[in-house]
Amino acid sequence: MDLVIAVTALVMAAPAMVVVALLIRMTAGGPAVFSHSRVGFSGKSFDCYKFRSMVADAEEVLKAHLEANPEAAREWEETHKIRNDPRVTFLGHMLRKSSLDELPQLFNIIRGDMSCVGPRPIVRDELQRYGDHVGEYLRTRPGLTGLWQVTGRSSTDYASRVALDSHYVRNWSIWLDIVILFRTVFAVMRVDRAA
């Protein structure tokens, strides 16, 4: 099912992906696709692909921003995300709001690194936040979409995100995946809940 959905979506999205890649190259220069190491099935690391939505020196910009803004530092600590992220370019902001930045993850699904539906792919440092639920995260492939993405996305705190990921793994069924896939369409349309 993952392969059929991913290949079909990739064929349908190919024209949009070419346009997005060209826009990134024209407005920000450098590579259009960014890869970052994430934790996958059984703890195996993989390169997770996304369209580049941040400035080139994103790590330095984030560090300076968190040092200068204690409230943003608290938000980062709680959710591993920040509103009004200074690293995100104007085009990147639009890509995130529309979730177009995640289209390259279709290649991750085809490669077997990810599934269409599953927990959000996380970096290794985030594993500690899963506490007693880390085993549940590690026994499934991360998803392009998932229960967290269709239940609140960035408006939920990290503990709620872990609870949703854990609930998904414990209650997995093909029907739950189908429901999440359908709900994803509506979640993406609600751009206020994206990114």
Predicted confidence (pLDDT) per residue in 51-75, tens digit: 999 887 788 888 888 888 888 888 8
Per-residue pLDDT of 103-159, as tens digits, reads: 999 999 999 999 999 999 999 999 999 999 999 999 999 999 999 888 866 667 888
3-state secondary structure of 34: strand
> How long is the chain?
195
Q: How far is residue 172's CA from residue 190's CA, in Å, rounded to a whole number?
A: 25
> What pLDDT is stored for residue 118 in this prediction?
96
Provide the residue type at 101 as one letter: D
% pLDDT > 90, the chain? 62
Sequence letter at residue 131: G
pLDDT of residue 144: 95
Tokens 């409230």, residue located: 71
Average pLDDT over residues 64-87: 84
> Is pLDDT of 190 > 70?
no
User: Which two tokens mark 115?
Assistant: 């599934």
Q: What is the pTM of this model?
A: 0.85
**What would you measure as the largest C-alpha separation in the chain, in angstroms?**
47
Band of residue 191 on the pLDDT scale cut at 50, 70, 90? low
Kindly report, residue by residue over 176-185, the tens digit of the pLDDT: 999 999 998 8
